[in-house]
């Protein structure tokens, strides 16, 4: 077992907004690393007042109507974590970062083994076993959700997640093949603490 799902589970929270999964994943990681977890309101307020490193304007904009929000770019996770003094990098299967190669399941396992915290971009419907709503132009699942990867159990063939999008998402257990199919939707994007 790579990682420590039991130690991470207390920092899971269900998201009340429908498009702030990135903020909730960051809050989870902040709690795991510092012992003090920001509330959903605190992390959203911070994201609303922090300039994005990806696009003009703030990291997060509150939607005018429910279910119309654009959410937050996965690549802004390190920017938000930095506001808590936590160094992190965003990588994918094509692009590594200084001191870290490209993303892969092996890299993810090694990061968890070293005690690093990892947020991954996935397609929620694939993880949840639902009909895929968000698709790319060629019909493949599109990434639409961020979760905290808390463990990989290679013997049982499952991954452990803290998934703020489900009311029973604390230490959610997903078969590795389902996870990798869902994770592939983001080109294996992962944000890893340093």
Is residue 69 scored above 70 in pLDDT?
Answer: no
pLDDT at 94 over 90: no
Bin 94: left if φ > 0, else alpha if -120 < ψ < 50, else beta.
Answer: alpha
Mean pLDDT, range 65-81, rounded to an integer: 81
Closest CA to 29 of 13, 49, 52: 13
Mean pLDDT along residues 96-107? 84
Residues facing residue 100 across a β-bridge: 97
Q: Tell me the pLDDT band of 101, cut-offs 50, 70 and 90.
A: confident
pLDDT digits (tens, 9 = 90+) for 4-17: 999 999 999 999 98
Residue 126 DSSP SS3 = helix
Kindly report which listed range (62-76, 82-96, 130-144, 169-183) carries the lowest average pLDDT score.
Answer: 62-76
pLDDT at 99 over 90: no
d(CA 85, CA 41): 19
Q: What are the residue ranges of helices labelled H in the chain?
A: 5-8, 21-34, 40-49, 77-82, 105-113, 124-128, 176-183
Cβ burial of 178 (10 Å; 0-12, 13-18, 19+) is middle
User: What is the chain's length?
Assistant: 194
DSSP classification of residue 185: G
Band of the pLDDT at 65, cuts 50, 70, 90? low
pLDDT 10s digits, 141-151: 999 999 999 99
**Distance (Å, rounded) from C-alpha 185 to C-alpha 136?**
9
pLDDT band at 67 (very low <50, low <70, confident <90, very high): low
Provide the mean pLDDT of the chain.
93
What predicted TM-score, i.e. pTM, was given to this entire model?
0.94
CB of 54 within 8 A of CB of 47?
no
Q: Supply angle C-alpha 90, 168, 71, rounded to 5.
A: 40
The predicted model gives 156-162 an average pLDDT of 98
- Residue 97: pLDDT band by 50, 70, 90 thresholds? confident
> What is the distance between the alpha carbons of residues 23 and 111, in angstroms, rounded to a whole number?
21
């Amino acid at each position: 077992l790579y990682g420590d799902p039991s130690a991470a589970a207390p920092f899971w929270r269900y998201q009340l907004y429908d498009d702030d999964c990135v903020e909730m994943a960051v809050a989870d990681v902040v709690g795991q690393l510092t012992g003090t977890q920001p509330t959903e309101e605190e992390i959203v307020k911070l994201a609303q007042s922090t300039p994005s490193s990806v696009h003009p304007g703030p990291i997060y904009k509150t939607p005018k109507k429910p279910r119309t929000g654009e959410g937050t770019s996965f690549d802004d996770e390190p920017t938000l974590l930095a506001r808590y003094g936590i160094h992190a990098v965003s990588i994918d299967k094509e692009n590594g970062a200084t001191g870290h190669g490209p993303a892969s399941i092996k890299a993810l396992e090694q990061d968890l083994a070293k005690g690093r915290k990892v947020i991954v971009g996935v397609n929620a419907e694939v993880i949840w076993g639902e009909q895929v709503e968000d698709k790319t132009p060629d019909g493949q699942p599109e990434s639409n959700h961020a979760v905290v990867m808390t463990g990989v159990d290679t013997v049982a063939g499952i991954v452990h997640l803290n998934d703020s999008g489900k009311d029973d998402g604390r230490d959610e257990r997903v078969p590795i093949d389902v996870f990798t199919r869902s994770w592939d939707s983001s080109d294996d994007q992962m944000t890893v603490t340093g």
